[in-house]
Each structure stands twice: as C-alpha cells, then as structure tokens.
Amino acid sequence: PLCALQVRPARSSCASFLEQYRRASSSSACDSMSDTEGAPSQEPATSSDALPAKKPKRNYRREKPWDTDDIDHWKIEPFTPEDSSGAPFEESSFAVLFPQYREKYLKDVWPAVTAALEKYGIKCELNLIEGSMTVRTTKKTWDPYMILNARDLIKLLARSVPVQQALKILNDDVFCDIIKIGKIVRNRERFVKRRQRLVGPEGATLKALELLTECYILVQGNTVSAMGSPKGLKNVRRVVLDCMNNIHPVYNLKTLMIKRELMKDPMLQNENWDRFLPQFKKRNIKRKKPQKEKKKKDKALFPPEQLPRKVDIQMETGEYFLTKQQVAQREAEERSKRESDKRAQRVEERAKRFIAPEEGTGEKKSEQKRNDVDVSGTVEKLKRKAKEASDADKQRKKTRKAANGEQKAMKKEKATSESSSKADKKEKKKKKKKDKRKES
C-alpha cells in the first residue's frame, strides 16, 4: 500500500524513507526465495535423525549491480511536473497577518510574488483591509509540497525580509526558521541591549554569523528570520538563544570557526573534536558596593527621664487651677494678640512698595539703554499703539451702544405687550362685573 501513495522524492527525508522501504521489500523477497530453495523436503523423520534441522541463514543479500559507489544517495533530485500523479484532491490554504508599516511595500511587490507562485499553480491574495496574506492550492498545482514553501514565503515577507531574498525559499535546498525572542527577556531595556549585542557594532557580529553558517539572517522587532541549510539554521538558532540568555555570541562564533577549520582536515573526520574546542567557564563576578559607615549611637547607662504628663504641664503653668471663664478669656486675648501681629505685618509689607529706591544705582545701565534705543522709532510705535487702542475703544463703544439699543427696544416691546395685556384683563373684569350687575 505504501507504493500506491503519492510520495515526493524532492526531500531528503522522503527519499531516504522510500529507499529503506525498497531495501526492506527486496530483502524480504530474497529471504523468501532462499527459504523455498533451501528448505528441506517434508519426509517422515526416522529414528536416526536425532539432531534438528538447521535454519537457513537470513544474512544473504543479493548483489546489486546498479548500486555503485559513485551514486550519491543524499542528493535531492529535482521534482518536475512529470513526477506528479495529478492535482490534489482537497484545497490547502494558509493565511498570515502583516504589520501596517509593510502595507506599502507588499502592495508594490505583490505582482512579483504572484508571478513566482503561478509557475507552481498556487494562488495568492493580499487583503489590505484585514492586513493578511493568503496562499492556496488550485487544480493546476503539480507540486504538493510547494504550498508549505509558499506559507514560509508569506511569513518571511511579513517579517520584513526583502522579496528578492524571500523568493529563494521556493528552491528545494533552502529552508527557513523564524526565532521568537520577545518573551525570553522580561526587562525591555535588557532585551534591547542583548538584541543589539547580537547585531554587533555596524552589524559586524551578524555578518560573521552569516559567513560561518552560510545563512541569511535578519533581526526585526521580536523575531529573528533565518534562511539557509538545516545545519546552518540549527547553529543560528543556538547562537541567537544563547545571546538572549546572556551568553555573548563571540564564544559561539569562535567554536564555529574552529569547527570550520577542522572540517577541512580529512584525518580528523571520524574523531572527537572536543579536545580542540574551547571550554568557556561562566564567571559571574559580582561587584561589591562600597558599604556606608554606620555611626554607632552612644548608649546611656541609665534610661531617659520620664516625659511629663499634660496635667503636670498645666499645673506648672497654673492653667490647671483656672476656671472655664478664665481659660476662655486667656484664649481670646491670645487670639487678638495674634491677629494684631498679623495686621501689623501686612501694613509693613504694603508700606515697602512705596519706599523710593536708593539713588546712584543702575545709572550706567540706563545710560547704555538710552544710547541704544532709537527715540524717533519708539515715539512712532507708541503713537501707533495709542491710535490702535483708541480705535479699538471706539469700536467697543459702538458695539455696546448697539447692544444697549437692542436691549432697550426689547424692553419697550415687552412693556407695551404687558401693558396691552393688562388693559385687556381690566376690560374683561369690567365686563364681567357689568354682566353680574345686570343679572342681579
């Protein structure tokens, strides 16, 4: 039944699985053939046959002339439309939201994205109202795995990866990894500091990491987007997470550089490299803060004297023996004394305003000001201001007169209406009285 499934050989995992299945099926077939050929005839056992019959060996493998050493079993073969067994039965779709600042760029670039996905028969939509990108399969889709690549493409575009770089994810040998670093560090200032440490001065650390891992890396907001081989992405993820956990990326870069040099030596391919790699010890040295010298209090031999009570203080001042009337009189005298003191203080403060300043102070400054100031210009300015003020006053008076006139007219109208209503009421009353008299 596995042979009937639609399996795509473009991925290393799928290819290795199919290869293992073929080998297992071929070995089982060979074993069954060997069993039938080498099986003993079913004749009745005699008494002389005391020993049991030996089982045939199952380690026999038939020679494969087509499987030579020059064949690369790890090679990823390209997947063509001829390899496809037809369109998918059901529609698969993925949607990704994008931030508002990417809206203009995505709108300009979207024709290039649609053209790249049309080759594989995948439809894509850009919804600017909801702020989302959607990809889905169609009846023309001949590569079933390409929908996952299209999903990764829109993810990378949402994370500010340029379209020329993001379109490389459609190749079979390129993979991507989006590392979330926002929730690793709680303190915002510490998070920004460690993220900047990952980028390095003028992007030097990030560039070195890209060269060693052969991956494209972009740090944007709370995520790190990486594109490259699976081995390189694994190293990138380890370096990024270590950096956010307060391990400087320089240590990991040093180990990667040493590994790169060791890979070139064919003698060390099958040996353990731990003896060549540096072992960094964590040294968390806490800085000692200068301790403040505490002044020792002089402890007395005997305890302090007991504080006097309120009654004792009143008895010393003589207030305890006064009557209620005398206490009230004393409080009134103290109040009046306080008020008189405050009044005298206010009078002194008012009198200070009318004291003339001392002569001979600030003569030089006043002379300089007189020399600097243009007298004719100041006079004209003052005249202009006076004229503007008089015009404004006249305008205000006119508006007030008009408003007063309107108010007077309104009052007159009200008075006339009230007087007419009163006269009507009087006439009505008179008529009623006359009618009553006539009836009586």
* DSSP per-residue codes, 197-246: HHH-GGGHHHHHHHHHHT-EEEEETTEEEEEE-HHHHHHHHHHHHHHHTT
pLDDT at position 23 = 60
Q: Can you point out the beta strands (E) in 267-424?
A: none
pLDDT at position 30 = 44
Q: How far apart are CA 225 and CA 152, in angstroms?
A: 11
Question: What number of other Cβ atoms are within 10 A of residue 199's Cβ?
Answer: 17
Q: How far apart are CA 434 and CA 438, in angstroms?
A: 6
pLDDT at position 193 = 94
Question: Is 106:126 a contact under the CB 8 Å cutoff?
Answer: yes
CB environment 116-148: b (16+ within 10 A), e (fewer):
bbeebbbbbebeeeebebbbbbeeebbbbebbe
Question: What's the gap between Cα 140 and its chain centre?
Answer: 40
Question: What number of other Cβ atoms are within 10 A of residue 237's Cβ?
Answer: 15
Question: Is 239:210 a contact under the CB 8 Å cutoff?
Answer: no
Q: How far apart are CA 231 and CA 379, in angstroms?
A: 87
Q: Mean pLDDT for each consecutive 10-residue tract of the chain (440 residues)?
A: 38 52 52 42 42 58 78 83 83 94 94 94 94 94 92 95 94 93 92 94 94 94 94 95 92 92 87 86 73 76 87 88 88 93 92 80 52 65 82 82 80 78 79 80
pLDDT at position 32 = 44
Place of tokens 């995520």: 223
Q: How far apart are CA 208 and CA 257, in angstroms?
A: 10
Question: Is 215:236 a contact under the CB 8 Å cutoff?
Answer: yes
Cα torsion 190, 194, 200, 202 to 10°: value is -40
The answer for 203, left when phi > 0, alpha when psi is -120 to 50, beta otherwise, is left
Residue 225: strand, helix, or coil:
strand
